[in-house]
Structure 1
Amino acid sequence: MNSRSTYRRRLFAAATAFLAITAMAVAPAGAAPSTTPTVVLVHGAFADSSSWAKVSEELSAQGIPVRTFDNPLRSVSGDAASLTAFLATIDGPIVLVGHSYGGSVISNVHDPDVTANVFVSAFAPAEGEILQLLLNPIMYPGSLLLPPAVLVTPVQDPTSPIGIGIDGFIPEVFFHQVFAQDVSPAVAADMYTHQKTAALQANLEPSGPPSWTRTPSWYLVSTQDRVIPPALQRMMAGRAAPGRTVEVASSHASPVSRPDSVVAVVREAIAATS
């Protein structure tokens, strides 16, 4: 091959590469595929991340990246700070899903990468509201989360000035009927072994400015809930997720008993914000 032929081939290759780069540079922004958000699942009190197992499996099977957050259950502000630090390790957009007390935690997270909130049988407090006062038995009757179905115990707590805190827990004899009456006794027994106690402080701390005032939010109401009364859930959903509320006939433990309904709402949030 002579030098002129080689020169022509090199010139052609360079021109082809230049045109390809130029085409990519001027391609319309809409031509790029959308990034699937990572779904971060935040459990609440009297549970741990294993309560999300079925939801996580279904989302993963559908090609949606999932992470679970090990909620400390110490205080709303402290747990929100821990979650914010956890989110910093994730690249790209995020959909936050909070169950029960986990809803108060995601309400206090203000991460610009969060594109949607999903509340599942969850607290969605407004600024200054206290969870224990939201469970007002006169305005919103129906919660069975009262002594002796919930008791307190001293625990080691590194966030406490004295290293000791007071936590609440549900005794085994009440766990099935109060927390998850629509699962089998065997499943309820397994859930009980995974129960994490929650600091009383977490229910007595005023909530900060809620993220749901600026972040699109969805809410799944559990109509058979014996922890957070359905009427209270509907009130919070009306503020945080107007027009984006779905109801399911389930206990408080809908991520375990009705993972299909949880996944459907999460997918709706992803589709609407991606």
Structure 2
Amino acid sequence: MNSKAATVVLVHGAWADESSWDKTVALLHEKQIKTVTVRLPLSTLADDVAALDQVLEQVAGPVVLAGHAYAGAVIGATHSSKVKALVYVAALAPDQGETVADVFNRYEHDALAPQLAPDDKGWIWLPPEAFATAFAQHASPAEQKVLAAVQLPLSPACITVAVGEPLWKQIPAWYLLAEQDHMIPKQTQRFMAERMHARISAYPVDHLPSLTAPKLVAAIILDALSHSAA
């Protein structure tokens, strides 16, 4: 695969939107890498995979597909033949028969992890203060306020359905392990990354390195592009 001909497709996780990738996109554009971001409805896992597949259908040529957090389950559930490599950014990677909730809760969370529960309409919101304490503690206060303002809620239907055979069993995967993540324990991340036989890069970053450490995220994506080209 010619890396210059490849497109990087970026998928946000829960409580974020496409803007969480803006800094990473800018760095990739400096390298003349084509990028596309995907907006997920976060209504059901099937809906989210359908939204991703709709975008992939519009992309010409090969794809390196990156997902953050919950979106790890989404990128693993597509079976588009265009996808040549997967990049997991502090992301969840359930295996066949597991749910997102299963892997999210595999190991105990620390004291800074927020309490999560559906509201009276069935949606799970992240408490606004959690953006500063658990989700993106390395971001600026202004960035944390924006994250809280633009957050997209998650439906329990996204995280309680068992997945089929994931794509990471068929193609190579890269994993950015966020060592200072208070949303997904680093022990959980390492378990999933090692199970995938992913190429692991561990850094002392928070849960949203696409915003707070975009150079590290872009470097891993570029590595995936380079290896896929070879």
Sort the TM-score into its range (normalised by shorter chain): over 0.9
Matches within 5 A, 1:186-265: 186-242=142-198, 244-265=199-220
Matched, 1:141 2:96: no
Instruction: State the partner residue of 1:161.
Output: none
Instruction: State the partner residue of 2:80.
Output: 111
Judge conservation of contact 2:114–2:127 (CA < 8 Å) in 1: no
Matched, 1:40 2:9: yes
User: How has the CA–CA distance of structure 1 residues 239 and 46 changed in structure 2, closer, same or farther, with 3 Å as cutoff?
Assistant: same
Judge conservation of contact 1:71–1:79 (CA < 8 Å) in 2: yes
Give the Cα–Cα distance (whole angstroms) in 1 for the partners of residues 45 and 212 of structure 2. 26
Judge conservation of contact 2:179–2:203 (CA < 8 Å) in 1: yes
> How far has the Cα of 1:208 moved from its partner?
1.5
Give the Cα–Cα distance (whole angstroms) in 2 for the partners of residues 103 and 183 of structure 1. 22
CA RMSD of aligned residues (A): 1.7
Say which is worse superposed, 198-207 or 46-55, in terms of deviation. 198-207
Instruction: State the partner residue of 1:6.
Output: none
Matched, 1:152 2:115: no
Of residues 93, 99, 105, the one that matches 1:130 is 99
Of residues 84, 106, 109, the one that matches 2:53 is 84
Give TM-score scaled by structure 1 length. 0.79
Of residues 43, 56, 60, the one that matches 1:74 is 43
- Letter of the 2:193 counterpart: A
Which protein has the larger Cα radius of gyration, Structure 1 or Structure 2? Answer: 1
Give the Cα–Cα distance (whole angstroms) in 1 for the partners of residues 211 and 29 of structure 2. 16
Q: Percent identity?
A: 34
Name the SS for the 1:91 alignment partner. Answer: coil
> How far has the Cα of 1:154 moved from its partner?
4.3
User: How has the CA–CA distance of structure 1 residues 33 and 261 changed in structure 2, closer, same or farther, with 3 Å as cutoff?
Assistant: closer
Deviations 1:201-253 (A, max 9, x none): 111111121000001110000000000100000000002243x1101111101
Aligned length: 229
Judge conservation of contact 1:119–1:219 (CA < 8 Å) in 2: yes
Matched, 1:64 2:20: no
Give the Cα–Cα distance (whole angstroms) in 2 for the partners of residues 143 and 50 of structure 1. 28
Give TM-score scaled by structure 2 length. 0.94
Name the SS for the 1:218 alignment partner. Answer: strand
Name the SS for the 1:73 alignment partner. Answer: coil
* Structure 1: gaps of 5 or more residues: 1-31, 156-165
Deviations 1:49-87 (A, max 9, x none): 000000001001110000000011122222112211210
Judge conservation of contact 1:95–1:118 (CA < 8 Å) in 2: yes
Give the Cα–Cα distance (whole angstroms) in 1 for the partners of residues 154 and 42 of structure 2. 5
- Letter of the 2:130 counterpart: F
Matched, 1:184 2:152: no
Give the Cα–Cα distance (whole angstroms) in 1 for the partners of residues 68 and 175 of structure 2. 10
Judge conservation of contact 1:73–1:79 (CA < 8 Å) in 2: yes
Instruction: State the partner residue of 2:224.
Output: 269
Name the SS for the 1:79 alignment partner. Answer: helix
Judge conservation of contact 2:109–2:184 (CA < 8 Å) in 1: no
Name the SS for the 2:147 alignment partner. Answer: helix
Runs of 4+ residues deviating >2 angstroms: 32-36, 139-147, 150-155
Relative CO higher for 1 or 2, CA cutoff 8 Å, sep ≥ 6? 2
- Letter of the 2:119 counterpart: T
User: How has the CA–CA distance of structure 1 residues 35 and 192 changed in structure 2, closer, same or farther, with 3 Å as cutoff?
Assistant: same
Give the Cα–Cα distance (whole angstroms) in 1 for the partners of residues 219 and 4 of structure 2. 19
User: How has the CA–CA distance of structure 1 residues 124 and 33 changed in structure 2, closer, same or farther, with 3 Å as cutoff?
Assistant: closer
